[in-house]
Amino acid sequence: MNTFMQMAIDEARHGIKHNHGGPFGAIVVKDGKVLSKTHNEVLKNNDPTAHAEVLAIRQASEILERFDLSDCEIYTSSEPCPMCLAAIYWARIKTVYYGSNKIDVASIGFDDSLFYRYIRGETQDQGLKLVNTDRDECLKLLREWSEKSDKQMY
Ligand SMILES: [Zn+2]
């Protein structure tokens, strides 16, 4: 049993016990040392984005005082949902260790297969309207950013 995965599982159990959220825990590791330990807090915080991986990334970034976690790894008790996967990409993390997979998770009611299908362009989700409006005005923002001489890219 991997020590970091065991920690992620312990975190998830803590969350279950205290009704903080679903059975999910995550650990961010750098150079073999734990930077952050989190569990799902969707219920505790009334925050639909408070998934363990997102919280672990936020905490690790705060500790390192940088948004680039390319020298870190993440351990998560379950395969990341599309939101967490995107957060992992944005954080530039190169390796994700996960325990149960998305099919296992769907079997207990956390089904994100619709999101995966939507991203792959395999479905038009009738529950989500994606409406493109006022593009020209918003393009001005992109130009402002592009022309900003002291911007920090990430
Ligand atoms: Zn997630």
Chain segment 64-114, per-residue pLDDT in tens: 999 999 999 999 999 999 999 999 999 999 999 999 999 999 999 999 888
Residue 130 reports pLDDT greater than 90: no
The one catalytic residue in 11, 41, 53, 73 is 53
Q: Which tokens sit at 9?
A: 């599982």
Locate all alpha helices (DSSP H) within the chain, ordered by sequence: 3-17, 42-45, 52-64, 82-90, 102-106, 113-119, 135-147
pLDDT, residue 124, reads 80
- 42-49 contacts at long range (C-beta below 8 A, 24 or more positions apart): 43/19, 44/18, 44/19, 44/20, 49/83
Chain segment 25-40, per-residue pLDDT in tens: 999 999 999 999 999 9
Catalytic residue at 53?
Answer: yes
52 CA to centre of ligand 1 in angstroms: 7
